[in-house]
Structure 1
């Protein structure tokens, strides 16, 4: 995989997170990114992944960041309740989701706005770590925010994949392009 240069603006929180997490992940893990080139270099997109461990957001952020994109996660609102962590996540552009409430639609609207402005939105359709050994079914429609965007943003793609771990504990993020519109 060829590392891409960042084209989109990054705030202080993204710089800090990348400066701390990237060297730690490079030192602590072995990665094999499969089909990473299917993640578009620019324009709005949705990346849907299965959530199988607490490390998934860090590994997928590493992949997306290496591809020159700033990952914007739909994250459970509980993460934003801690003042320090919540402030950091907000500064990094992350999107809080108030699950099982009428306010959940606000996250959907924020995701659509992010896609319209060329953002790379990362979702875990299960909404939490899956306990299904086959990693399915994925709930909801990760392509829905992209499909509700204006025509120019609808040319964006959504990418899905499931991080897999081999017997040697090598994290992998296979991706495949689905639902592409032109």
Structure 2
């Protein structure tokens, strides 16, 4: 398919992050296939994760088609960009059509990006994940590449103000060894394995992160297990269970 929108968007994002000196470090590129279909399953700590997950595949010269909620495609600004980049809208009330579209894209040799936690993790740990990534990979006969991002939550995350122009924020992106599910594998077991791999990658990028909070008030972006003030997984689950509201401002 023609790519008139995606390359300029990638270039604009790279330029913006270069100007802001948001230091991106991508590792594990050898795990992203240079050709053929694959699912990238990424953790989710920020509203900007799709940008950085996509940039994580750039060294392999791959474009990632993300599965994203249908409402984004209806936005007057984001909608034309999402459609122009050939991302996949997801109607959560009727998800089979988007699932089938993702499988067709994978069989056609594309990379499909998913956030199997479904929503942003307030605890900055990997929540329980859905099985869709494993199931679509098995059906299409392609690998699942686990990926972890860290640092993106400092720019824009749930319950915090946007700081999109914040300078000198390191962003770490790491791709892990692929899983290769088959239709005969146990989906529940493989989904647990995928979550373990994502958690391990996240632990690694958190350990490698070159900065620490500048003071007590800055500890919000660290998980509780690392001495931060982010909610524990249990506290985050309670927050997620409350009635939804728009807290992105």
The TM tier, using the shorter chain, reads: 0.7 to 0.9
Q: Which structure has more RCO (C-alpha within 8 Å, separation ≥ 6)?
A: 1
Contact (CA 8 Å) 1:10, 1:70: kept in 2 or not?
no
1:172 aligns with 2:172: yes
Shift of 1:179: 1.9
TM-score using structure 2 length: 0.61
> What is the CA–CA distance in structure 1 between the aligned matches of 2:104 and 2:116, rounded to whole Å?
19
Counterparts of 1:178 and 1:163 in 2: how far apart (Å)?
16
Q: Is the 8 A contact 1:51 1:129 kept in 2?
A: yes
Q: SS at the partner of 2:26? A: coil
1:113 is aligned, of 104, 107, 110, to 104
CA shift, 1:169, in A, is: 4.3
Give the equivalent residue in structure 2 for 1:32: 25
RMSD (CA atoms): 2.2
Identify, as 1 or 2, the structure richer in helix.
2
After superposition, residues 116-155 of structure 1 pair within 5 angstroms as: 116-149=107-140, 154=141
Which has the higher mean CA deviation after the structures are superposed, 13-22 or 34-43? 13-22
Query: 1:39-78 residue pairs with structure 2 within 5 A?
Result: 39-78=32-71
Larger radius of gyration: 2
Instruction: Please list the CA deviations of residues 47-98 of structure 1 after superposition, one character each: whole Å capped at 9, or x if unmatched.
Output: 0001101221111111212320111000111101123421221121100011
Aligned to 1:82: 75
TM-score by length of 1: 0.82
Provide structure 1 residue ranges, at least 5 long, that are not aligned to the other structure. 1-8
| 8 Å contact from structure 1 (residues 157, 177) kept in 2 | no
Q: Deviations over 1:117-160 (max 9, x none)?
A: 000100001112112332232233412111112xxxx1x21101
1: distance between equivalents of 2:36 and 2:174? 21
Q: Does 1:15 align with 2:1?
A: no
Tell me the residue number matched to 2:145: 159
Native 8 Å contact 2:138 2:181 kept in 1: no
For the 8 Å contact 2:90–2:98, the answer to whether it is kept is yes
Gaps of 5+ in 2: 155-167, 183-249
Q: What secondary structure does 1:177 align onto?
A: coil
Paired residues in the alignment total: 167
Separation of aligned partners in 2, 1:22 and 1:14: 12
